[in-house]
Amino acid sequence: MPTPSTARPEWTIPIDPALQAELERHVLVTSWDKLLGMVDTVYNWGRRSALWPLGFGLACCAIEMICTASSRFDIARFGAEVFRGSPRQADVMIVSGTVTKTMMPMIARLYDQMPEPKYVISMGACASGGGPFKEGYNVVSGIDKYLPVDVYVPGCPPTPQALLHGLITLQRKIDGEKLDIPAIGRKGNTPWYDPDANRDVPVPVLGPDLIDVRTLELTAERTAAGLTEAREATLPRPALIPAPRPEVPEAEEAADGQAESAAAPSGRAMSKIELIRAKSRGEAVPEGAAATAAKKAPARPSRKARVAPSRPTLVWLGDDGLKDLAGRLDSEFGEGTATVVRAALLVPAGKLLDVSSFLRDRNPIRYDYLASLQGVHYEDCIELTYHLDSTASPGSLIQLRVRAAEAEGEGEVPSVIGVWPGADFQEREAYDMMGVRFSGHPNLTRILMWEGFAYYPLRKDFLEPYYEGPAKVFPSRIEEGRGQHHRAEEFNPFGSNVKIPKGFRGWDGLDPAADAKGFGQMPRGTGVDVQELDTEQFVLSMGPQHPSTHGVFRMNLRVDGETVVGLKPVMGYMHRNHEKIGERNTFLMNFPFTDRLDYFTSMLNNHGYALAVEQLMGDDAKVPERAEHIRVIMAELNRVASHMWSIGFLLNDLGAFFTPALYAIEERELILDLFEWAAGSRMMCNYFRFGGVAFDLPPGWVDRCSAIVNDRLGRKIDELDALLSENEILKDRSRGIGVLSREQAIAFSTAGPVLRASGVPYDIRRAAPYSIYDRFEFDVVTATGGDVYDRYHVRLREMRESVRILGQALRALPEGPILPGKKSYQIKVPAGEAYSRVENAKGELGYYIVADGGPTAYRYHVRSPSFINLTALEAMCLGHTVADVVGILGSLDIVLGEVDR
Ligand code: SF4
């Protein structure tokens, strides 16, 4: 028989008589509200002291977020013990990093899956407002456009301590909360809290752009009215320059002539910035104004648009070798097959496949390695450039040029996948960004944007929705723009940075549940024979938010039981418009953006970018000895830090959750301290400058660095080796798994430890030496098995080689200047082309720059080792189990900032 309930008159809810007696005996209840207040206190204490964060890591900030779990910062002391992998188990979502349009629907869906009450911490400038990527064509300017944010943590990135402070702030907020208790009719102070409510901000849709379905009607109306087109009519258009021609000296003269005749519009004296911008656009302006301008600021000879010497990269085949090669191709395939155009071979698209096969298989130097492939939008064509090297004769790099029609969607060239399978993702990228079709490509779909996106963003005529001009400095920030400063929203007809073509009619077909990003990326069976139970195959989507994918990356797997029989990487969830921004930024302003590519290796990224621009600048950017040494020291420290992290987290992937990673993070922290001391920042160091480095080393830095290098790192590497290399579980889980043969590794254009673990001794520091690497003794580490274990072991041994280089560089570090002249914010970069190559921790990091003599790059492309290494992923995974896929991906050591750029 149930216990009859009794109620005190002033209490409105029934209470168990036994409990009532107990309360009256032991608790002094002066009023129900006070009791509830105590309950709130206890309840809030419980909630705030056991926050379960869903670490929603999107980009660089995520790494600082992960560091809060290390022993140095120890998030557990702040009441948030364990990062959750599932939204169902979490009550606070820490959005750390850049929120892209591609990722936004995923974030909203996962937020919806968290139980109430739930909170959001926005970590970093990007999550809070778009940060440095604000309003890029694939970036959302702040997560609060779609989620209710409780705490904003400023910084780019915020330090781990700043995130912990954010956590404390959230805890204080929770302390002050009173939840609604409808059962007793109590209203709390959290009107948002309704455990049964459906979300009021619907999941946005990836259509021709990201579409907020709350504004669907308005957006459709404005699109029909042609507001995008009307706005664009008022914007300055970037000037297109013609593709390079063989007759260089005349072109040079013409460029100089243009610079000389630059003049002011409508009789008004041109400002300095107008002159620079007019020149960069290639515009001719009336002569009178030029004279006026000249009077204001007398033109120096250096003001003329200089042309850099023609060479594709610092170490290459050379002029004579290139002429011989052109002659050989002509005699093989007919006169006119290859024309030397500015130190590269121009080949007709129709002969590309023949020429490619010849270069790989029959030329005396076998060009078996496609280092890089990219497109440039010129006035008269889209030019595809192919950088080729030979693994047998490294340093013989050549550049091929192939031209396609300029008009949007008209360009077509044959795919070279059959010759160099490493072209796969690179051709898809050129298609996605430039609209060039590659005939014969088996899967020519968008790779960084999504199917259905309406534009080709790296064509020069693609104007981004927000921006007021194609290149910095924007008119509203310079003298003629005084009083005309606008907010982003005013520039945009939609109130946010979306751009939809007037002809778009498919509003009714927009579906928030559609998978625009994964569409077309479902792997087909690849003939892997599974000799086990007769099971149904199915497609499994891993990612784009999954603890094992090392960032916002997705793999669509076709599995037969546990066996992988097909795999397609799906990327672009972190595409932050890096190259478009690089063409908008002035050369100097682009440095900090390179930090954020592979956000573990900002020093190495800086180095590569500096080399590309310095190649164009020639002696104006000759690096002094001290700076060269400092550069090498920073680069090698960074390699050790990156490899440490990579090994620690590979062990996570293999099942040894977090202990090895904690050891690795500890060493990395010591290196980050050195970076912070010298550059002012732990991760985003922005430390290199054209011709040197930004600051000299502070007093005491060399001693501290030497102590870490000489007394600690070697010992710690030995410790890792002793703990891991002979560990039976590690060996069982990594030996013979994810094997990439030597031939496959070269064919897929893999680089770095991935390539070397397959037995190819190709390291840019030796293959095409840069900086002062040719002065140091170190070995190029290789292995022969090409499996997960060898990739781990190559990294481990490479750290020892870095320590060797560090010891030599620290001992040889001379006194002297760190820059060739005074610090300057005015960089003059001659017109020309340059491809720089550095050995990043992940492999060959290349920067391809086309400069037109203006203050910004005309074309800026990054050859990303993480991106290209992924081309081999499917081949490495076929026939293995799902659990092995996690380890194989970990052994590639990808960083999404660099994959997606
Ligand atoms: S750029 Fe990177 S570090 Fe800066 S706020 Fe964005 S995600 Fe964080």
In a domain? residue 805: yes
Which range is least confidently modeled, 633-637, 751-755, 828-832? 828-832
How long is the chain? 901
Angle at 391 between CA 387 and CA 397, to 5 degrees: 30
- Separation of CA 308 and ligand 1 centre (Å): 34
Q: Which two tokens stand for residue 313?
A: 């990269």
Strand partners, 314: none
pLDDT of residue 486: 55
pLDDT of residue 226: 85
Ligand 1 pocket test, candidate residues 56, 122, 596, 601, most atoms within 8 A of CB: 596
CA of 591 to the centre of ligand 1 (A): 14
Please list every protein residue whose CB sits less than 6 Å from any atom of ligand 1: 59-61, 97-98, 124-126, 131-132, 156-157, 596, 684
What do you get for the CA distance between the two ends of the chain, in Å? 69
Residue found by looking up tokens 């300055």 in the block: 236
What is the C-alpha separation between 431 and 411, in angstroms, rounded? 9
The atom of ligand 1 lying closest to the CA of 132 is 1
Ligand 1 centroid distance, CA of 64 (Å): 10
Q: Average pLDDT, stretch 742-769? A: 96
pLDDT digits (tens, 9 = 90+) for 154-172: 999 999 999 999 999 999 8
Q: Is the pLDDT of residue 304 over 80?
A: no
**How close is the Cα of 584 to the center of ligand 1, in Å?**
19
For residue 817, give every residue at least 6 positions away whose Cβ sits within 8 Å of its Cβ, in sequence order, or none. 624, 626, 627, 692
Q: How far is the CA of 845 from the centre of ligand 1 (A)?
A: 21
- Do residue 89 and residue 204 come from a single domain? yes
CA-CA distance, 849 to 372, in Å (whole number)?
Answer: 13
Of all residues in the chain, what percent carry a pLDDT higher than 70?
A: 84
CA atoms within 13 A on the CB side of 685: 31
Contact call for residues 635 and 334 (beta carbons, < 8 A): no
Supply the pLDDT for residue 466: 72
pTM of the complete model? 0.86
CB atoms inside a 10 Å sphere around CB 811: 10
Give me ligand 1 centre to Cα 682, in Å.
Answer: 13
What does DSSP say about strands 437-439 and 832-840: parallel, antiparallel, or unpaired?
unpaired
Residue 661, classed as helix, strand or coil, is helix
The answer to whether the beta carbons of residues 428 and 435 sit under 8 Å apart is: no
Task: Return the best residue to mutate from 126, 578, 591 for the ligand 1 pocket (most ligand atoms within 8 A of CB).
Answer: 126
| Element (DSSP H or E) covering residue 389 | strand 382-389
Which residues is 399 bridged to in the sheet? 387
For residues 525 and 637, which has the higher predicted lDDT (pLDDT)?
Answer: 637
- Between CA 808 and CA 380 the distance in angstroms is 50
Q: Please state the residue numbers annotated as binding site for [4Fe-4S] cluster.
A: 60-61, 126, 156
The DSSP result for 750-812, as a single string, is --THHHHTTT----HHHHS--TTGGGS-------SS-SHHHHHHHHHHHHHHHHHHHHHHHHH
The whole domain housing 386 covers 317-439
Question: What mean pLDDT is predicted for residues 215-220?
Answer: 86
Confirm whether 732 is domain-assigned.
yes
648-651 contacts at long range (C-beta below 8 A, 24 or more positions apart):
649/550, 649/890, 650/788, 650/792, 650/887, 650/890, 650/891, 650/893, 651/724, 651/730
Same structural domain, 346 and 198: no
> Rounded to whole angstroms, what are the CA distances from 138 to 591, 805, 886?
21, 40, 28
**Is the pLDDT higher at 125 or at 538?**
125
Residue 502 lies in a domain: no
pLDDT digits (tens, 9 = 90+) for 27-56: 655 566 566 667 777 878 888 888 888 888
Q: Say whether both 323 and 180 belong to one domain.
A: no
Give the model confidence (pLDDT) of 849-895 as tens digits.
Answer: 999 988 889 999 999 999 999 999 999 999 999 999 999 999 999 99
Looking at the structure, tell me whether residues 742 and 860 fall in a common domain.
Answer: yes
Stretch 437-456: mean pLDDT, rounded?
94
pLDDT at residue 476, as a whole number: 62
* pLDDT of 545 strictly over 60: yes
Give the span between the Cα atoms of 393 and 156, in whole angstroms. 43
Tokens describing residue 210: 């990201």
Q: 345-359: per-residue pLDDT in tens?
A: 999 999 999 999 999
Give the pLDDT score at 33: 59
Over residues 260-282, the mean pLDDT reads 48
**Which percentage of the chain shows pLDDT scores above 90?**
55
pLDDT score of 220 more than 70 = yes
Rounded to 5 degrees, φ, ψ at 206 are -90, 100
pLDDT at 709: 95
The answer on 326 and 201 residing in a single domain is no
743 forms bridges with which residues in the sheet?
none
For residue 61, the ligand 1 atom closest to its alpha carbon is 8
pLDDT at residue 299 above 50? Answer: no
User: Which of 439, 454, 484 marks a domain boundary?
Assistant: 439
- Cβ–Cβ under 8 Å, residues 714 and 388: no
What's the number of CA atoms in the CB half-sphere (13 Å) around residue 730?
A: 23
Structure-derived torsion over alpha carbons of residues 880, 885, 891, 896, reported in degrees to the nearest 10: 150
Q: Based on the domain organization, do 185 and 326 belong to the same domain? A: no
| Within a domain: 227 | no
pLDDT score recorded for residue 87: 87
Half-sphere exposure of 766 (CA within 13 A, CB side): 16
Distance from the CA of 60 to the center of ligand 1, in angstroms?
Answer: 5
Which of 406, 439, 472 is a domain's end point? 439
Atom of ligand 1 nearest to the CA of 98: 7
CATH number of the CATH domain containing 165: 3.40.50.12280
Q: What was the pLDDT predicted at 250?
A: 47
Q: What is the CATH number of the domain that holds 708?
A: 1.10.645.10
Q: Domain check: are 183 and 321 in the same one?
A: no
Which protein residue has the closest C-alpha to ligand 1 atom 3? 157
Amino acid identity, residue 374?
Q
Is 446 part of a structural domain of the chain?
A: no
Report d(CA 871, CA 568) in Å as an integer: 9
d(CA 710, CA 714) in angstroms, rounded, equals 7
Ligand 1: residue whose CA is nearest its atom 7? 97
Binding residues: 60-61, 126, 156
Mutate to test the pocket of ligand 1, among 64, 98, 133 (most ligand atoms within 8 A of CB): 98
Kindly state whether residues 323 and 176 are assigned to the same domain.
no
d(CA 812, ligand 1 centre) in Å: 36
Which residue CA neighbors atom 2 of ligand 1 most closely?
Answer: 60
> Does the pLDDT at position 496 exceed 90?
no
- Quick one: which atom of ligand 1 is closest to the CA of 157? 3
* Nearest of 787, 870, 844 to residue 549 by alpha carbon: 870
pLDDT at 263 over 80: no
Let me know if residue 300 belongs to a domain: no
Atom of ligand 1 nearest to the CA of 128: 5
- Examine the domain organization and report whether 793 and 647 are in the same domain: yes
Which of 56, 58, 61, 96 for mutating ligand 1's site (highest number of atoms within 8 Å of CB)?
Answer: 61
Count of the separate structural domains present in the chain: 3
Question: Does residue 880 sit within a domain?
Answer: yes
In tens, the pLDDT along 649-689 reads: 999 888 887 788 888 888 999 999 999 999 999 999 999 99
Contact assessment for residue 899 and residue 596, using Cβ atoms and an 8 Å cutoff: no
Does residue 247 sit in helix, strand or coil?
coil
Q: Is residue 424 part of a domain?
A: yes
Answer yes or no: is pLDDT of 492 > 60: no
Least trusted range by pLDDT, from 539-548, 591-600, 731-740, 811-820: 539-548
Instruction: Specify the pLDDT at position 274.
Output: 55
- Overall average pLDDT of the 777-785 stretch: 95
Q: Of all protein residues, whose CA lies closest to atom 6 belonging to ligand 1? A: 126
The residue that leads in pLDDT, 507 or 523, is: 507
- Omega before residue 157 within 30° of 0, cis: yes
Give me ligand 1 centre to Cα 168, in Å: 21
- The domain that contains 396 carries what CATH number? 3.30.460.80
Examine the fold and report which residue of 162, 186, 210 is the final residue of a domain before the chain moves on.
Answer: 210
Does 9 have pLDDT greater than 80?
no
DSSP characters over 175-230? HT----BGGGTB--S-TT--TTPPPSSPPPEESSSEE-GGGHHHHHHHHHTTHHHH
CA of 130 to the centre of ligand 1 (A): 9
Sequence-separated (6 or more) residues with CB below 8 Å from residue 105: 203, 204, 205, 206, 512
Can you tell me the distance from the alpha carbon of 761 to that of 747, in angstroms, rounded to the nearest whole number? Answer: 15
What are the CA-CA distances from residue 454 to residues 214, 512, 884 (Å)?
21, 18, 37
Average pLDDT over the chain reads 85
- Rounded to 5 degrees, φ, ψ at 120 are -130, 125
Q: Which two tokens stand for residue 882?
A: 């799902």
Return the ligand 1 atom nearest residue 897 CA: 2
| The pLDDT value given to residue 26 | 67
What are the Cα distances from residue 585, in Å, to 467, 469, 578?
A: 12, 11, 10
178 has pLDDT over 90: no
Q: At 1, is the pLDDT very low, low, confident or very high (cuts 50, 70, 90)?
A: very low
* Minimal-distance CA residue to ligand 1 atom 4: 156
Per-residue pLDDT reduced to its tens digit, 466-488: 776 777 666 665 555 555 555 55
